Structure 1
Amino acid sequence: MRRVEHVMGFPVSLRVDDADIPEAAVDAVFAWLHEADARFSPFRTDSEVSRLDRGELSGDALSTDLREVLDLCEHYRTATGGAFDVRLPGRGLDPCAVVKGWSVQRAAELVTAAGAERFCLNAGGDVAAADGPWRIGVRHPELADRLCTVLEITDGAVATSARYERGDHIVDGRTGRPATGLLSMTIVAPTLTEADSVATAAFAMGREGIEWAASREGCEVFAVDAERRVFRTPGLPVAA
């Protein structure tokens, strides 16, 4: 089974190899992703995030899901000494760096709950996969038609933060300036919630983010810094 839809501004593809899961279950997976976009996007004026940012919602009125997202944002803000911050001065509340991985991870759990064991869920290049091996290419940060490396994942997730799609869009919350110390940061982790959040948080920290990410339990790192030096942790699952 394969399906592709455009959600959150990028293509999301689901491939299931081992089970004929009901069409309704696949519908539910993509319905959840569209719901997450509607509820947590800072670019939608009627989203829960936008309403909170405008002061229309108090803490007691927030959904359990949004509280969970904000708790994750605060965890990574504290863990990076403020480099990762979803409340930058002069900008509205923007938890997208956490919402993407968190919502796609929940979608992957819906796929599992529907009876699938071997599947790959790819959200704009960030991947949650099960019962591999799955070969996942990491794009070269400067050459769009080339790969830096190919990873082999059995169960887990891969996420990359980089400058090649949206330019210098990740800001170091400690300085208020774009983070330019890295060209790309790829994280392999047990869940996409962690892989995506750690990738963005580490990118915001610059070169020091490489060591920080590598110290996170369960995380493996592949990074290219601004001087085009490549760093990888010993446990990185590089394909043979």
Structure 2
Amino acid sequence: MRRVEHVMGFPVSLRIDDVDVAEEAVGAVFAWLREVDERFSPFKADSEVSRHGRDELARHELSADLVEVLDLCEHYRLATGGAFDVRLPGRGFDPCAVVKGWSVQRAAESLRAAGVRRFCLNAGGDVVASGGPWRAGVRHPEHADRLCAVLELTDTAVATSARYERGDHIIDGRTGRPATGLLSMTVVAATLTEADSVATAAFAMGAEGIEWAASLPGCEVFAVDADRQVLRTPGLPVAEEPSAAA
């Protein structure tokens, strides 16, 4: 089974290789992501995130989901010494860097709870792979038609933060300026919640984020720094390397 929808501002594709899959389980995945878009988008004035950003909701009035997201945001802010910060001056409260991976991981867990075992859920290039092995390409940070590596994923997740789609959009919260020490940062972890958050947080830290991400238990890293040097951890599940980054 294959299904693709445009949700939360990017394409989400789901491929399921199990023989028997309930349509309800697939529908629930996309219904949840649409719900997340309504509740957590900082671009929608009536969303819970926007209302919280305007201080219209007290802590006890927040949903358990938003409290979980806020706790994750604070964890990575502290872990990076403030480089990762969802409350930047002049930009308002924007937890999208955490919400994406967290919500897609929740969707994947709903599939597993429904008995689906072999699937690949791809949300704008960030992937949760169940069963396997599945292959996921790491895009070259400067050439859209080339890959730096192909990863082999089994019951794991991968996310990439980079400058090639949205320019210098990731801000180092310590300086208030765009993070430019890296061209791309890819993280493989047990969940997309962790992979996506760590990739963005490490990118915000710049070159020092490579060592930080690599030191986290269960995280494997593939990074290209501003000097176009490739750095990766020994346990990165590489299937093949089609080209060099330089």
Please confirm whether the aligned pair reaches a TM-score higher than 0.5, indicating the same fold: yes
Letter of the 1:82 counterpart? G
Count matched residues.
240
Deviation at 1:239, TM superposition (A): 0.3
Per-residue CA shift, 1:178-221, capped at 9, x if unaligned?
Answer: 00000000000000000000000000000000000000110000
Per-residue CA shift, 1:4-49, capped at 9, x if unaligned?
Answer: 0000110000001013211111111100000011101100101000
In the alignment, does 2:70 pair up with 1:70?
A: yes
In the alignment, does 2:15 pair up with 1:7?
A: no
Identity of aligned residues (%): 81
- The two structures have a TM-score, normalised by structure 2, of 0.97
Q: Partner of 1:214 in structure 2?
A: 214
Q: Partner of 1:129 in structure 2?
A: 129
Q: How does 1:107-146 map to 2 (within 5 A)?
A: 107-146=107-146
For the residues of structure 2 that align with 1:135 and 1:25, how far apart are their CA atoms?
24
Letter of the 1:173 counterpart? G
Deviation at 1:109, TM superposition (A): 0.5
Per-residue CA shift, 1:41-90, capped at 9, x if unaligned?
Answer: 10010100000111211111000000000000000000000000000011
Where do 4+ consecutive residues of structure 1 move more than 6 Å? none
For the residues of structure 1 that align with 2:219 and 2:229, how far apart are their CA atoms?
20
Letter of the 1:5 counterpart? E
Larger deviation: 51-60 or 191-200? 51-60
Larger deviation: 25-34 or 171-180? 25-34
Q: How does 1:158-237 map to 2 (within 5 A)?
A: 158-237=158-237
For the residues of structure 2 that align with 1:160 and 1:221, how far apart are their CA atoms?
10
Deviation at 1:91, TM superposition (A): 1.3
Structure 2: segments with no counterpart, 5+ residues: 241-246
Q: Partner of 1:39 in structure 2?
A: 39
Q: Partner of 1:152 in structure 2?
A: 152
Letter of the 1:167 counterpart? G
Letter of the 1:53 counterpart? G
Q: Partner of 1:16 in structure 2?
A: 16
- The two structures have a TM-score, normalised by structure 1, of 0.99
Q: Partner of 2:30 in structure 1?
A: 30
Structure 1: segments with no counterpart, 5+ residues: none
Letter of the 1:219 counterpart? C
For the residues of structure 2 that align with 1:37 and 1:214, how far apart are their CA atoms?
31
Q: Partner of 1:97 in structure 2?
A: 97
1:115 is paired with a residue whose SS is: coil
1:239 is paired with a residue whose SS is: strand
Per-residue CA shift, 1:126-152, capped at 9, x if unaligned?
Answer: 000011110100000000000000000
